[in-house]
Amino acid sequence: MFDTNTITRFKDLETPFYYYDLGLLRGTLEACKNASDKYGFHVHYAMKANFNPKVIAAIQSYGFGADCVSGNEVSTAIANGFDKSKVVFAGVGKSDKEINTALDADIFCFNVESIQELFIINELAQAKNKKANVAIRINPNVDAHTHHFITTGLDENKFGINSWQLHDVIDALRKCANLKFVGIHFHIGSQITDLEVYKNLCNRINEMQDWFEDHGFPVKVLNTGGGLGVDYHNPDTNPIADFEGYFKVFKDFLKVKPGQEVHFELGRALVAQSSALVSRVLYVKMGQKKNFLVLDAGMTELIRPMLYQAYQKIENLSRQSAVRSQRSEAKLKYDVVGPICESTDCFQKDVELPESFRGDIFAIRTAGAYGEVMSSGYNLRDKVQSVYSE
C-alpha cells in the first residue's frame, strides 16, 4: 500500500486523512465477484461499512446490490446508481419515514426484524396501494465466536425474530395483504474468521426454510447475511479476504432448492483493507513507566479501537522509509494516543515501534470499514479529507 513515492507525497499533505488504495479496492471487488459468480450467488454491499463516494462508485460498477440500514442509505444507494431491484433494507428500528422512503423507491425487499414491524410495513404499503416484499430476519442462536459487541445472532441480541415467535409470524403474514413473503434472512455477527461458524449457520437455514415451507410459505430467497472478517494483523500478507473459501462453505452445506436465490450482505470484507488513517506525531512524551506518541488523529477519526477494543496495525511510515536500507534500528514501546479530551482516546498500548519523533507520519491500517463512516465532530474537530491513490 505504501511505497516510497506515496510516503513522499504524504509529507506535503495536511493530516490526518483517510488514504484509499483504489487499486486494492478493485482487486478485492474482482475477487469477490469471481468467487460469488461461480455459484450464481447474489452479493449486496453493506453500505454502513463505508459510503465514501469513490468507494461506492467502484462497488456499484461491479454490479453488486446494496444492503441498507437507514432510509438515507437507501436513497444514497439509488442516487449512486445501485439497481433498486438489488436494494434490501434491514435494521431493527426502521421509522415510518424510512419505510415510506423505501416503498417509494420500490426496493427489492425489507428484511423484517419484529412481528410489529410486519404490521407497520403492511399499513404503510396499503396507504400507497403497494405490495412490499419482505424477508423474515431470524435469530438463529448461532455463536459467531467474535467480540460480544459485534455478535448479532444469539437469543440475547436485539436483532431478528426468535424461533419461538415464528408461529406468530405466520399468522401475521396471513393477515397482511400488502406484504409478499419472499424469504428468510440471517446475520450472526461481524469480523468472523472461523469459517466453521458458517457451517452451523447453514444447518439452521436448512431447518428454517423447511419449517416455512411446511407451513405453506415457499422460500425464494435465502439471505445468509455477511460478517466475513479480514486480517487486521497482516494487512500486507493477506490484503484480500478468503472469498473462495467463504462462498464454498455455503455451496457445500446450504440446501438450495430449484428456483431459489442465495444472497449475501458483505461490507467489511470488501472495503476494510483498502484504506488507512494517516496521521502525524504532534508530541512525544517520555516517562518512567510509559512513553506516549500523541497523534493528530484520534477517536473522532477512528473509534473502533476504543469502542470494540479492536486491534489495528500501526506503522511509522517516516521511520520505515528512512531506515529501509539499514539492518537494525532502535525499538521503543509507546502508547499511541490521540488528542481528544478522553482517557479512552488510545489506539493501542505498548506498541513496539522504531524510535519516533515529532512530525513523523503514521498509518493506522485496515481503516476502510467503520473508519470514515463513524467519524464525529466531537471537541469541534474538523472533518478530515480523503486522499486517493489515483
* pLDDT on residue 107: 98
Question: Phi-psi category of 304—alpha, beta or left, where left has phi over 0 and alpha has psi -120 to 50?
Answer: alpha
Mean pLDDT of 54-59: 98
Residue 163 has pLDDT above 90, yes or no: no
Please state, in angstroms and rounded to a whole number, the distance separating the CA atoms of residues 370 and 48.
8
Res. 104 pLDDT band, cuts 50 70 90: very high
Residue 151 has pLDDT above 70, yes or no: no
pLDDT digits (tens, 9 = 90+) for 301-323: 999 999 989 999 999 999 876 65
Residue 119 has pLDDT above 70, yes or no: yes
Give the domain ranges of the chain.
Answer: 4-17+273-388, 22-272
Chain centroid offset of residue 30 CA? 18
Res. 140 pLDDT band, cuts 50 70 90: confident
pLDDT above 70 as % of the chain: 94
Res. 53 pLDDT band, cuts 50 70 90: very high
Alpha-helix runs per DSSP H in the chain: 4-10, 22-37, 53-61, 71-79, 96-104, 115-127, 166-175, 196-214, 243-253, 268-271, 304-307, 317-322
**17-20 and 275-286 beta bridge pairing:** antiparallel
Please state, in angstroms and rounded to a whole number, the distance separating the CA atoms of residues 342 and 319.
28
Domain 4-17+273-388: what homologous superfamily? Lyase, Ornithine Decarboxylase; Chain A, domain 1 (2.40.37.10)
Residue 155 has pLDDT above 70, yes or no: no
Mean pLDDT of 248-272: 98
* pLDDT on residue 212: 97
Residue 288 DSSP one-character state = S
Residues 6 or more apart whose Cβ sits within 8 Å of residue 265: 43, 44, 45, 46, 67, 88, 90, 187, 223, 225, 226
What is the domain class of 22-272 according to CATH? alpha beta
Q: Rounded to the nearest 10 degrees, what angle do helices 96-104 and 71-79 cross at?
A: 20
Say what the pTM is: 0.93
Containing 132, the helix (H) or strand (E) segment is strand 132-139
Nearest to 156 by CA among 169, 132, 139, 178: 139
C-beta separation of 246 from 228 below 8 A: yes
pLDDT digits (tens, 9 = 90+) for 202-254: 999 999 999 999 999 999 999 999 999 999 999 999 999 999 999 999 999 99
Please state, in angstroms and rounded to a whole number, the distance separating the CA atoms of residues 150 and 46.
15
Res. 273 pLDDT band, cuts 50 70 90: very high
Containing 222, the helix (H) or strand (E) segment is strand 221-223
The average confidence (pLDDT) of the chain is 94
Mean pLDDT of 263-286: 98
Please state, in angstroms and rounded to a whole number, the distance separating the CA atoms of residues 3 and 8.
9
Please state, in angstroms and rounded to a whole number, the distance separating the CA atoms of residues 59 and 37.
15
Residues 6 or more apart whose Cβ sits within 8 Å of residue 116: none
Residue 150 has pLDDT above 80, yes or no: no
